[in-house]
Copies of this chain bind each other. A is one copy, B any other.
Amino acid sequence: MPAIPANPDRLLADLDHLRTIGAVGTGVSRMAFTDQDIAARAWLAAQMAEAGLEVTVDPCGNLFGLPPGDAPCLLVGSHSDTQPLGGWLDGIYGVACGLELARAALEAGGPRIAVVSFQDEEGRFGGLGGSAVWAGRMSLAAADTTTDADGVSFGAARVAAERIGPAGAIMGEVPPSRFSAYIEAHIEQGPALEAAGLALGAVEAIVGVRRWTLTFRGEANHAGTTPMALRRDAVQGLGRYITDLNTALAPIVTDRTVWTLGRITVDPNAPSIVPGAASVSVQMRDAEAARLGRMRDTALTLAQEVAAARGLTLEAEEGIALDPVAMDPALVDRLAAGAQEVAPGRWQHMPSGALHDACNVAAVLPAAMLFVPSIGGISHNPAEDTAREDLRTGLRALAAALGEDITRA
């Protein structure tokens, strides 16, 4: 399989420049449609144009660099917006890889590769909004009503997309039918690759998420005058639930299943009052929908048992429920082959525990993702980093995997 002659030095030079746009210490702040985000997109658009790609900005602010020709081609990218204070690689690594691959492929005379930076992946507004609208999973009208923390709507903010430029850029729709498949490179944002001593991960699925809020409700009482035997203490139910949930889930889960009780609210939350109510968020992630269903049933049954045994009542409010998204098996095989070529024995198949634009794009195109390690598993933080050699290896694996036109795979 011929590799695209992509240049890791150019990739790193691009990334080094991009981290100066919106730089805050070692981190970056480029929330969607801020001046910093627009500046980064404008710089990317200029590189695309200079490379000979046709620059198009769609109404959501998604930025495309398209190779000459009309036949469907491969799309490579991610997002260039960041968390309010994020790291220097989250999202932009995949965009910069797409830019270098498209540029190198154009220089080499093929294959045809387009690059994209989706908008608002990080959720200044709804999160994953740009790719959701592009893939037809949300209407632009619905996206327009989402607001940021200050009440600014996506609809009002997206007029800034017109400032992306460069001169000659086209404002218009770029339908998914222009593409044959989607590849997204991304930092892992977790510690699994580093812990295993590996350089690359071929993502087979993006995990599904089930979340709900459980509230144990008892009776608030004076902490001095209420004997233990007469209490209906909601925190006692909470403590037992946190502990017993591990035991209850153990027979169901795999090493890659995760569950998190991340938010706790106690009422009235006073040292001298027996807690009358305790709420906890229960979030579960797994790559298999059936397993998530069993986990949900187990977790709710346990909560009912814990409540009943302590004279508490239980309220369960279901929140986010996202099914797992399988990556395209043929594309995963291609990425795995590329990984094996450049890092023999130093890669693995793995799920993505985080959501990515590929979740949305997979609804309309074959899609797959390649992960590079995150040092210490840290992301959404200025300390986010990846060894420069690993950044190079990721590009080389993509170049090896995508050398043959994906539409002929």
Q: List 28 A-B contacts (CB under 8 A).
A: A190-B222, A190-B225, A191-B227, A191-B230, A195-B230, A207-B224, A209-B224, A222-B380, A223-B258, A224-B258, A224-B353, A224-B354, A224-B355, A225-B352, A226-B353, A228-B257, A229-B255, A230-B377, A235-B242, A235-B262, A236-B261, A239-B243, A260-B271, A260-B275, A262-B270, A262-B274, A263-B271, A264-B278
Cβ contacts under 8 Å, A242 to chain B = 235-236, 238-240, 242
Contact B225 A353 (CB under 8 A): yes
A47–B243 Cα gap in the complex (Å)?
A: 59
On whether A263 and B264 interact (CB within 8 A), knowing A225-B379, A353-B226, the answer reads: no
In the complex, which residues 206-236 of chain A have their Cβ closer than 8 Å to any Cβ of chain B? 207, 209, 211, 221-230, 233, 235-236
Contact A283 B223 (CB under 8 A): yes
Cβ contacts under 8 Å, A278 to chain B = 264
User: Residues of A with Cβ closer than 8 Å to B?
Assistant: 188-192, 195, 207, 209, 211, 221-230, 233, 235-236, 238-243, 246, 255-264, 266, 269-275, 278, 281, 283, 285, 319, 352-355, 377, 379-380
Task: List the B residue with the shortest CB-CB distance to A320.
Answer: B271
One of B188, B195, B269, B281 near A262 (C-beta < 8 A): B269
Cβ contacts under 8 Å, A221 to chain B = 190, 377
A263–B235 Cα gap in the complex (Å)?
A: 9
Task: List the B residue with the shortest CB-CB distance to A266.
Answer: B264
A28–B226 Cα gap in the complex (Å)?
A: 22
Task: List the B residue with the shortest CB-CB distance to A241.
Answer: B239
**Which of A188, A272, A353, A379 has the largest count of B CB atoms less than 10 A from its CB?**
A272
Further 18 A-B residue pairs, CB within 8 A, beyond A238-B242, A264-B266: A190-B225, A211-B271, A222-B353, A223-B283, A223-B353, A224-B355, A225-B377, A225-B379, A227-B258, A233-B260, A236-B242, A236-B261, A260-B273, A260-B275, A262-B269, A263-B266, A264-B269, A271-B319
A257–B257 Cα gap in the complex (Å)?
A: 41
**Which of A211, A261, A377 has the largest count of B CB atoms less than 10 A from its CB?**
A261
Contact B238 A260 (CB under 8 A): no
A12–B195 Cα gap in the complex (Å)?
A: 74
**Which of A222, A228, A256, A354 has the largest count of B CB atoms less than 10 A from its CB?**
A222
What is the minimal beta-carbon distance from A9 to any residue of chain B, in angstroms?
A: 29
Cβ contacts under 8 Å, A257 to chain B = 228
Cβ contacts under 8 Å, A275 to chain B = 260-262
What is the minimal beta-carbon distance from A20 to any residue of chain B, in angstroms?
A: 26
